[in-house]
Amino acid sequence: METDLESILITQDQIAHRLDELARQMVADLPVEDGQPAELALIPIMTGALVFTADLIRRIPTMLRLYTVAIASYGGATTPGQAKMNRGLTSLPKDLTGRHVVLVDDILDSGQTISMAQDHVRALNPASLKTCVLLRKPTDAARNVPAEYVGFDIPDRFVVGYGLDLAGYYRNLPMIAVPRPEVIHRHTGDQAARL
Ligand code: IMP
Ligand code: MG
């Protein structure tokens, strides 16, 4: 699998260090209720945010509950497509009144996925709603979507690893890497395998 990679953009150590900072900042931003940080409702967007969220929550030492939202983008293998919510794989309470919510995703690219999730969660009336992404691409669209916590701003390259996939593969790489052009080419158009 590693021979499919052109370069490593972000190492495991860099990710671990940045996650420590993000978790600290997230806890520091929580309002204090009865002398303690308020409870957090963390909502990863499946499937890309799975690895990131698993590592992030183990750095948060306060009370939190985890829900999930599943949104898939049905585009080409490397281009954004139409975002669609999978309600069967979405587990949210009926309302989030009084709750402090952080949405978590792997990457902010066109912003379609996160905007859809933000709209959906906002309709459940949370006390606060923030967004955390591991990566953000330098597109105008990405900058127009509010994200309070951004792990890394990256160049406009297609990346894989640490939850991010190419046609469903490479999510298990422990770092963020750029696949070789011929590997991208081989998988492009392989839409059925994306899920
Ligand atoms: P957006 O809706 O265009 O912001 O894209 C978000 C989704 O597209 C992410 O959750 C990823 O699944 C996918 N995506 C965007 N850019 C990349 C990339 O460079 N590598 C892998 N997946 C990506
Ligand atoms: Mg995804």
Q: Is 65 exposed, middle or buried (0-12, 13-18, 19+ CB in 10 A)?
A: exposed
| The predicted structure's pLDDT at residue 195 | 40
Q: What is the amino acid identity at position 182?
A: E
Over range 77-97, report the average pLDDT: 85
Q: Could you tell me how many residues make up the chain?
A: 195
Nearest CA to ligand 1 atom 19: 158
| The predicted structure's pLDDT at residue 72 | 81
Q: Tell me if residue 109 is catalytic.
A: yes
Overall pTM > 0.85: yes
SS (H, E, C) 18-66: HHHHHHHHHHHCCCEECCEECCEEEEEEECCCHHHHHHHHCCCCCCEEE
Over range 141-155, report the average pLDDT: 94
Percentage of the chain beyond pLDDT 70 is: 94
| The predicted structure's pLDDT at residue 189 | 65
Ion ligand 2: residues, Cβ under 5 Å: 48
